[in-house]
Structure 1
Amino acid sequence: MPYYFNLLIFSNLLQNISAQSVVKQAVVKVEGEVLKPMSLGMLDLAKMKRVEATMKDRDGKLQQYSGVPVFEILQLAGVTVGKELKGENLAKYLLVRCSDGYEVVFSLAELDPSFTNRVIILADSKDGKPLEDGIGPFRLVVPDENKPARSAHEVTHLIIRFAKD
């Protein structure tokens, strides 16, 4: 009897340890009008082309972020960009959704280097350090805007949609 009791306790202990060691990885889901829906985590972003972007906070102080151009992510997902971004495809847009329900919108032309020189990034670090809670793990950084309202915190989804009447 003591053997089974000890076995039961040991089994329960192992279950608790393994449950605690499973940590849910933060991801950004790319979905909607895409050829290849994706879930990108920190390791995925680390393997992609990285760039720096500077933006002003609400107080006008410059901040340096590092991340992946949103355009690169959209290309990987098979979004209509480049030479195909014309005619009715110009009615497609990116909806950025955050963990608190906050949403911002960009036309695809605002993200495409054939239309603009501005590079909007999905950042995962600021000044060489991971983004702090309440801001990250992922933040959209939109340089050169008068207000930082579209530089969204805690990004969870990049959704491509087609504007229809």
Structure 2
Amino acid sequence: MSQSLAAADRAAGQVAELVITGDLARPARMTVSDLLAWPQHQAEVAFECATSGIQHHRFTGPLLHDVLTDTGPAFDLARRKDRLRFLIAVRGADGHHAVLSWAEIDPDFGGAPVLLAATLDDTPLDPVGPQLVLPQDRCGARHISGIDAIRVDGGYSAMSRAW
């Protein structure tokens, strides 16, 4: 969906939808309500914003690792290092992008508690879509609001064709 169509749908009261694609056995479409069905984790986050200084927020939502694992990434679980080649591209409806490695969120490696937040300061994110939250980041640049797409791919060459 184009950025302008996504913005128009959201303005018209449509529920924001997240599309998860890539090297997956089970690509998915989810709303914030769908994310609430997952075990919820909370993160108290303080990050520096270049335009407004330090921000303090409380986010709640499932772990990105849990949601993406459920989509069946196309790596061989018996070969632990096979996961290391996978990248996760996240896009917000406003066009903001970030890329993470699978190893960054995998409990066997970095184990970062990255959230797909369903609430921000106890306010549901249904109208705008989930937010990517990296509690370990000092800078909030990878906190992507209104996520409309996540793509999981098994390497740099695949990522260059992603969007």
Tell me if TM exceeds 0.5.
yes
Provide the identity percentage.
Answer: 22
**CA RMSD in angstroms, aligned pairs only:** 2.4
Match of 1:79 among 66, 73, 77: 73
- Give the whole-Å Cα distance in 1 for the aligned partners of 2:119 and 2:152: 25
Q: Following TM superposition, by how much is the alpha carbon of 1:53 offset from its aligned partner in structure 2, in angstroms?
A: 1.3
- Give the whole-Å Cα distance in 2 for the aligned partners of 1:155 and 1:164: 22
TM-score by length of 1: 0.76
Where does residue 102 of structure 1 map in the other structure? 96
- Give the whole-Å Cα distance in 1 for the aligned partners of 2:42 and 2:75: 22
- Give the whole-Å Cα distance in 2 for the aligned partners of 1:77 and 1:36: 5
Q: Which residue type is aligned with residue 17 of structure 2? A: V
Match of 1:142 among 134, 138, 162: 134
Contact conserved, 1:29 with 1:38, CA < 8 A, in 2? Answer: yes
Q: Which residue type is aligned with residue 161 of structure 1? A: D
Residue 47 (structure 2) pairs with residue 53 (structure 1): no
Where does residue 18 of structure 1 map in the other structure? none
Larger helix fraction of residues: 1
Residue 15 (structure 2) pairs with residue 25 (structure 1): yes
Q: Which residue type is aligned with residue 53 of structure 1? A: A
- Give the whole-Å Cα distance in 2 for the aligned partners of 1:132 and 1:43: 7
Q: Following TM superposition, by how much is the alpha carbon of 1:62 offset from its aligned partner in structure 2, in angstroms?
A: 2.4
Runs (4+) off by over 6 Å: none
Q: How many residues align?
A: 142
Q: Following TM superposition, by how much is the alpha carbon of 1:55 offset from its aligned partner in structure 2, in angstroms?
A: 1.8
Contact conserved, 1:130 with 1:137, CA < 8 A, in 2? Answer: no
TM-score by length of 2: 0.77
- Give the whole-Å Cα distance in 2 for the aligned partners of 1:143 and 1:91: 23
Where does residue 4 of structure 1 map in the other structure? none
Unaligned runs of 5+ in 2: 1-11, 158-163
Question: How has the CA–CA distance of structure 1 residues 23 and 147 changed in structure 2, closer, same or farther, with 3 Å as cutoff?
Answer: closer
Which structure: larger Rg? 1
Residue 24 (structure 2) pairs with residue 41 (structure 1): no
Q: Following TM superposition, by how much is the alpha carbon of 1:101 offset from its aligned partner in structure 2, in angstroms?
A: 1.6
Unaligned runs of 5+ in 1: 1-21
